[in-house]
Amino acid sequence: MTIQNNNNIFRSVLSNSGPSNHIPPIWFMRQAGRYLPEYREVRTANKSFLSLCKNPEDAALVTLQPIQRFDFDAAIMFSDILVIPEAMGMDLDFVESVGPIFKNPIRTPRDILTVDPEEVIGKLSFVMQTIANIRSQLPKSKSLIGFSGSPFTLACYMLEGRSNKSTGNNFPNISRWISEHPEDLVKLLQTVSQLIVQYAIKQIESGVDVIMLFDTWGGLLTDEDYRKYSFRFLEDIVHNIKLIKPKIPVIVFTKSQHVTEKYSISQQQSFVNNMHNMMNISQFDVIGVDHNIDMAIASQNLSNKIIQGNFNPNILAEGNQHAIKQEAKKILDIIYNSQHQGRYIFNLGHGILPNTDPKNVQYLIDFVRSYSA
Ligand code: CP3
């Protein structure tokens, strides 16, 4: 284990006071998960992935595992983005090697249920208990990240009933709704947005220091539709969170258009630049950068913001240590020669893959900390 410094470097980067040295704070998306043997042990002791999410003791335990093993600078509460639609009354199951399934997906506008926000958030009290349990055990020098899916990303699953990986198709139902029921879709996105704001506030009051919004599938949209069906709601959410909790930093992560081959290179570049321009003048504090985006371009575009991410999780899973070092060096050299020196959080471009060897995770963290020091 590396030497722990007592000042919270995650917090000092977020407050723009800059770290005392040049070492960026480090955490990884999906840092608690199947690549860790200690996670698999707790996971199999629970009936299913969802039962683990609803077990505040074990959810806290697996949240803390990667902190204990790797001394990451931040913990992310263990849960899933799909617990919101479940609390709205959708029947959720996680099937081994298939992923999430809703047995009653929304098929027509008539299927949209009216919800009582207080009742929905009340059903998520297990998340608040998990946060309280984590907080009581997490060292003060570590930040705790709470999260939600973005309205658009949640709606992708609510309308499709399952993941794009399992259907081999990028959520065709939501595309159909954009052309056939745009007003109903906007109504659904608004309902979900209001729930997300209240859910985030509750998480903050339970003990998280940072909120992250996962807009994973926003990049499936065209520039114009991205503003209409994803960004607009993200902006409302961050605005409303900050009205109530002005000091809480909010991170947003959108996967760029490279997730689909239907766009040309120039369309992809235009999407990234437009998305960055919107983000740069938004109220978000930190913008997550996926591994398909050129970090030098992200740094130029996002001059007002702290940036996070970009390390390709496939390189980490492949496990060639020379390649791991080269990838980390490439990103860090861009950061150190840019205005983002001291305004960067080291992370992957997307979640850590289950076939990643924990020893390479340690290798990467050690390299980043020693190269930066
Ligand atoms: O980052 C963390 O460590 C915190 C926990 C976390 C999970 N899911 C745990 C999880 C977070 C932040 C998420 C977010 C999430 N969930 C997203 C957005 C981010 C992203 O990765 O794009 C999405 C789209 C989901 C929905 C979801 N959950 C899918 C599609 C799957 C199946 C994919 C797979 O790898 O099997 C999940 C399951 C899931 N969520 C697992 C974990 C650890 C694996 C389930 C298991 O342990 O059996």
How far is the C-alpha of 327 from the C-alpha of 61, rounded, in Å?
31
pLDDT in tens, 107-165: 999 999 889 999 999 999 999 999 999 999 999 999 999 999 999 999 999 999 999 98
pLDDT at 64: 98
pLDDT at 258: 82
How far is the C-alpha of 52 from the C-alpha of 32, rounded, in Å?
12
User: In this structure, what token pair is assigned to residue 204?
Assistant: 């903050």
User: What is the pTM (predicted TM-score) of this model?
Assistant: 0.95
Beta-strand runs (E) in 163-243: 210-215
pLDDT at 15: 75
Residues 128 and 198: beta-carbon distance below 8 Å: no
Ligand 1 atom with the shortest distance to the CA of 96: 48
Q: What is the average pLDDT value for the chain, to the nearest integer? A: 94
* DSSP 8-class letter at 143: E
Residues β-bridged to residue 188:
none
Ligand 1 atom with the shortest distance to the CA of 29: 1
pLDDT at 348: 98
43 C-beta closer than 6 A to ligand 1: yes
216 C-beta closer than 6 A to ligand 1: yes
Could you tell me which residues come within 8 angstroms of residue 103 by beta carbon, excluding any fewer than 6 positions away? 91, 93, 161
Kindly report the number of other CB atoms within 10 A of residue 325's CB atom. 16
81 C-beta closer than 6 A to ligand 1: yes
Which residue's CA is the nearest one to ligand 1's atom 13? 80
End-to-end CA gap in the chain: 16
29 C-beta closer than 6 A to ligand 1: yes
* Cα 80 to middle of ligand 1, angstroms: 6
Length of the chain: 373
Question: Counting runs of H as helices and runs of E as strands, what totals does the chain give?
Answer: 18, 9
pLDDT beneath 70: ranges in the chain: 1-7, 16-21
pLDDT at 57: 98
Which residue's CA is the nearest one to ligand 1's atom 22? 216
Kindly report the number of other CB atoms within 10 A of residue 107's CB atom. 10
pLDDT at 71: 97
Residue 168, judged by CB atoms within 10 A of its CB (0-12, 13-18, 19+), counts as exposed
User: In this structure, what token pair is assigned to residue 80?
Assistant: 């899933």
How far is the C-alpha of 206 from the C-alpha of 203, rounded, in Å?
5
Ligand 1 atom with the shortest distance to the CA of 63: 3
Kindly report the number of other CB atoms within 10 A of residue 362's CB atom. 15
pLDDT in tens, 38-83: 999 999 999 999 999 999 999 999 999 999 999 999 999 999 999 9
How far is the C-alpha of 246 from the C-alpha of 239, rounded, in Å?
9
CA dihedral over 104, 106, 108, 110, signed as positive or negative:
positive
* Cα 276 to middle of ligand 1, angstroms: 25
Q: Cα angle vertex 272, ends 270, 273, to 5°?
A: 65
Judged by DSSP in three states, 27 sits in: coil
Residues 103 and 157: beta-carbon distance below 8 Å: no
Candidate from 38, 61, 81, 84 with most ligand 1 atoms within 8 A of CB, to mutate: 81
99 C-beta closer than 6 A to ligand 1: yes
